[in-house]
Amino acid sequence: MSEKEPPAKDESSADRGQGADQGDRKNDGPQRPHKPWRTEGLPAGHGDDDKPRRPRWWKWGAWIVGGYLVLFLLTTMQDQMSGGEQTIAYTDFTVQVQKQNVAEIFSRGDTIEGRLKQAAEVPGKSGSTYTKFTTERPTFANDNLYGDLQKGGATVRATPVVAQRGVLLNLLISLGPFILIAAFYFWLFRRSRAGGGLGGGLGGLLGGGGQQKKPVDPSTVRVTFADVAGIDEVESEIEEVVDYLKDPEKYRRLGARAPKGVLLAGAPGTGKTLLARATAGEAGVPFFSASASEFIEMIVGVGASRVRELFGEARKVAPAIIFIDEIDTIGRARGGARSVGGHDEGEQTLNQILTEMDGFSGTEGVVVLAATNRADVLDPALLRPGRFDRTITVHAPDQPGREAILKVHARGKPLAPDADLTALSRSTPGMTGADLANLLNEAALAAARQGQSQITHRDLTDALEKVQLGTARNVVMPEEERRRTAYHEGGHALLGMIQKGADPVRKVSIIPRGRALGVTLSTPESDRYGYDVDYLRGRIIGALGGMAAEQEVLGVVTTGAESDLETATRIARSMVGRWGMSDAIGPVSILPAEGDARTAGVSDELLNTVDEEVRRLIEQCYAEARRLLRENRPKLDSIADQLLEHETLDEADAYAAAGITHGTRATAAPEPQPAPRDSA
């Protein structure tokens, strides 16, 4: 299965750069809810950069808790100072009455509080005395207590002997909860004025806001164009922005203004974020970065307020760069089903961005950079001159670019003398900077697991196989299944060797990887950007080689040909319906990249003709694959035997097994074409 279309890139992948590891956000600390952006290179003493501040709600929480504790301590101390009465038995009380030692009492029901003239010893506690006391008079007591107290000169009080809390303190305690609620709403009001709306304060309280911006040391994280590789043509386009930020007066003298906005469009991982950071680092200006999704909250108006504050902060330290990543999150064309009466939060945020970009003339020195991999869905108002004046497409790097990127990412990694980054770059067409960074990291991890002190070329190739084909599985296959898999992969490999202009076979294996029971890896010698009919037919023939080998040798067709048939059908449909490579259809494009062709006015009759041509083309290629394998049966048997013996054949061993001299190929595909044999 030597020909398989590469899997689509994961759209959610982080947009990593073409150069050194970005280290994005690694120094980011907690940020205030209404400031969801990160900063680099702000002037000393500006804003919050001198010292990171904790979120304000901690401050308010500390005041509330502290106030409560102070109030609690004061009331407790008052109770303790005013208390001190000793609970005594009524018998002991009558003894003190008989001794005429009672100075005063207060009675409520059967409870009696009082104070002695002279301290008396606490019953049962030697050395402990009391003056104030409380006791309970039994209901069955039949004594003349009042007369005895009069004889002793005791005063019967109308108020309690133990002082109670004052009216003011009791009022304060009763109003405490209401005071706390009022203070909370006052905090929300202050926060809304500082952060743009009640939603900003409430959103921060609920944890839905962004993070407080944290100062970043320019000497440790700033990157320049020296850290960017493989996209030289893009660097040259953005050099004008750097030059303007470095010396704006040169342009102002001639009445020129810098572009207000530059849109970086490209696939994930091509280096858009790193390029924006390098632009700010090269110009030596502050850099504000945020993801578009961080502006959006459930509460309407929060996003717009954050946009206003972000642009305001940038103007204070101009010249500066504002970078908005994944701008398609809020920049999609308006008027769709997601808009409800113009009050959608995303639409309001977009409107605020449009207003802010119109709000400065271009002489302030604030340049807006934005990145997206869906430039086709952006609102036209964003792309008009005066907002995003330029759109720069960032492509995947070519072979020299990939080699330069690998060298940048290899900094700090000990490479063995046999590690050949040039050869590795030739085997990785179509890979982006993020892919190459991940490739070198996987190689370093593998070397570390094996206890090596250096990264060898074997580690690099093993990492490439793991990234492209998946991790090897420990599956014990029956001997008959191994033999069928060996002929299947041998068919792919042999057709890749004998077809003129085919991609060189790099490795053949019958070790299961991922969903595949075996793999044949074919990658080009150099990049190619246009394909003719002969080359594409050769790819279809190569994709059908595994199925053809099974039928020629074993007389069966298995489910392992599923991915091969998908690849062959996809190429054939594109040749017939999109690229005008069929005489029956002619030089017209019928099948759209997305959607139903009938919506574009294509008739059912023409679509039926496309289906017939696709089937005819695949059948011709399949017949050709069987003929080539039949004529080269000894070579196929030799490859299968070597696979059964060694399980994996590298490039030299595979060609030696087939008895074919490996020469330099003139044509190549733009991406590696692994061909896994899918398990049933």
479 is catalytic: no
d(CA 205, CA 187): 11
d(CA 37, CA 23): 16
Which of 489, 552, 624, 671 does the annotation list as catalytic?
Answer: 489
Residues with Cβ within 8 Å of 463's Cβ and at least 6 positions away in sequence, in order, are: 439, 440, 442, 443, 446
Put the strands of the sheet holding 287-291 in their side by side order. Answer: 38-40, 287-291, 320-325, 366-372, 261-266, 390-394
Torsion sign over Cα 668, 674, 677, 679: negative
- In 21-173, the DSSP E strands lie at 38-40, 86-87, 102-108, 111-121, 129-136, 155-156
d(CA 571, CA 4): 10
Residue 377 · residue 333 · CB < 8 Å: yes
Q: What is the DSSP letter of 50?
A: S
Helix H or strand E encompassing 170? helix 167-195
Q: Which of 38, 48, 14, 13 is nearest to 294 (CA)?
A: 38
- In 481-538, the DSSP E strands lie at 505-509, 519-522
End-to-end CA distance of the chain: 15
Phi-psi region of 127 (alpha: psi -120 to 50; beta: other; left: phi over 0): left
Which residue's structure tokens are 């804003």?
A: 47
d(CA 286, CA 280): 7
- Alpha-helical (H) ranges within 601-650 are 604-631, 633-646
What's the chain's length in residues?
680
d(CA 326, CA 468): 26
Put the strands of the sheet holding 505-509 in their side by side order. Answer: 648-650, 505-509, 519-522, 673-674
Residue 504 · residue 543 · CB < 8 Å: no
Residue 467 · residue 443 · CB < 8 Å: no
Which residue's structure tokens are 């990291």?
A: 441
Residue 675 · residue 534 · CB < 8 Å: no
User: Which tokens hold the place of 593?
Assistant: 């990249």
User: Which tokens hold the place of 297?
Assistant: 């909250």
- Helix (H) and strand (E) counts for the chain? 24, 15
Q: What single letter denotes the amino acid at residue 186?
A: F
* Degrees, nearest 5: CA angle 188-193-194: 95
Residues with Cβ within 8 Å of 292's Cβ and at least 6 positions away in sequence, in order, are: 324, 325, 326, 327, 328, 329, 330, 331
Number of Cβ within a 10 Å radius of residue 525: 16
Active site positions, annotated: 489
